[in-house]
Amino acid sequence: MHATAQAQPNIALVKYWGKRNAALNLPAAGSLSITLDALHTRTRVRFDDALADDDITLNGERDEAQTRKIGVFLDLFRARAGVAVRAHVESGNDFPTGAGLASSASGFAALAIAVDRALELHLDARELSMLARRGSGSAARSIFGGFVEMAAGTRDDGEDAFAIPLLGAGAWPLKVVVAITTRKRKAISSSAGMDHTRDTSPFYRDWIAGVPGDLDAARSAVSTRDFEKLAQVGEASCLAMHAVMMSARPGLIYWNTATVACIQCIRSLQADGTGVFFTIDAGPQVKAVCLPDDAARVADALRTVIGVEDVLVSGLGEGARIVEDAHACA
Ligand code: 2P0
């Protein structure tokens, strides 16, 4: 009745921003991501007959809203197992939480894997991806390593909205340099930001309509290891997503001045022939995707940008998995 799992965040190169069904957390369009290896979530789950309520600790703290959300997520698994037993959940990240570093992706992926093992459900990866999606849309992708595609699906029950692995982490070992420009939590959650964008942006339909073409281009770039092509579609998808966010009323601006300075730094590196492109999520951090030999140069350059607090370098990593119980959380 207990298990510990580890998962890593993923970074979308073709972005997910919009839902077609909020109750089942179904995305309005597909997405394509890379799973990282240098940032980790570890989650320990122990079901306990003596508990009256779930007991949930995230990064050493208890939070009522998070406890409710995770309780609802655990109910999906309890229903599958036909049990009502409550759980102790301890989860920790070794990177800033809720700051645009995809902590909800690694968090719900790790939780899904740990709960599946603790309840001995033995669900397959597709089912785990669909269940992780219920916690957070991007978590469906962190079930897998390397390059991953998430399908929007068309079914009302969401049974065709899951991620699939496209290419293993070792098959095209790109690097990701993360420039951290603040450790503060973001003011507007992704879910709230997506709803607001759908409800108020005049460009929302065009944004969603453009995603399938970007997915085709990115999938083809991955299968042929065409970095230039991936760079073009990756930056275009990121900027289109931020454009639609900014066109909401009032506009959502997740960037700060250092975010823009990092983009400009990356543009000058590109002009000098460095293999790098940027992507930015619902937060001010900049992720620079690089050819392996160029990562050190990119990291050195981003460290000199005013407002950059820290720079992390990551390779591509594996999907969510069970780990030894001994050292539970970061
Ligand atoms: C992505 N983001 O594709 C996009 C880019 C943020 C910007 O997936 O509401 O936390 O839990 O399904 O997964 C962040 O959204 O949103 C996200 P919910 P999630 O990575």
CA of 9 to the centre of ligand 1 (A): 11
Which residue ranges in the chain fall short of pLDDT 70?
A: 98-99, 326-330
Residue 314 CB–ligand 1 contact under 6 Å? no
CA of 330 to the centre of ligand 1 (A): 23
Residues 196 and 245: their CA atoms lie apart, in Å, by 9
Residue 73 CB–ligand 1 contact under 6 Å? no
pLDDT value of position 330:
47
Within 13 Å and on the Cβ side, how many CA atoms surround 97? 16
- The residue to mutate among 66, 238, 281, having the most atoms of ligand 1 within 8 angstroms of its beta carbon, is 281
Smallest CA-to-CA distance from 31 within 190, 156, 158, 151 is with: 151
Residue 17 CB–ligand 1 contact under 6 Å? yes
CA of 329 to the centre of ligand 1 (A): 23
pLDDT value of position 162:
98
- The residue to mutate among 133, 142, 190, 194, having the most atoms of ligand 1 within 8 angstroms of its beta carbon, is 190
pLDDT value of position 103:
87
Question: Which residue is closest in CA terms to ligand 1's atom 20?
Answer: 12
Residues contacting residue 208 through CB under 8 Å, at least 6 positions apart: 18, 28, 29
DSSP-assigned beta bridge partners for residue 115: none
Question: Which residue is closest in CA terms to ligand 1's atom 14?
Answer: 190
Residues 325 and 298: their CA atoms lie apart, in Å, by 37
Residue showing tokens 């119980």: 325
CA of 12 to the centre of ligand 1 (A): 9
Residue 118 CB–ligand 1 contact under 6 Å? no
What stretches of 83-190 adopt beta strand conformation (E)?
86-93, 147-150, 163-167, 175-180
Atom of ligand 1 nearest to the CA of 136: 11
pLDDT value of position 327:
55
Residue 104 CB–ligand 1 contact under 6 Å? yes
Lookup: tokens for 99: 């700051």
Residue 191 CB–ligand 1 contact under 6 Å? yes
pLDDT value of position 214:
98
Alpha-carbon separation of residue 151 from 173, 208, 302, 322 (angstroms): 24, 13, 33, 25
- Collapsed DSSP state (helix, strand, coil) of residue 210: helix
Residue 262 CB–ligand 1 contact under 6 Å? no
pLDDT value of position 101:
77
pLDDT value of position 40:
94
Residue 197 CB–ligand 1 contact under 6 Å? no
Residue 149 CB–ligand 1 contact under 6 Å? no
Residue 16 CB–ligand 1 contact under 6 Å? yes
pLDDT value of position 99:
65
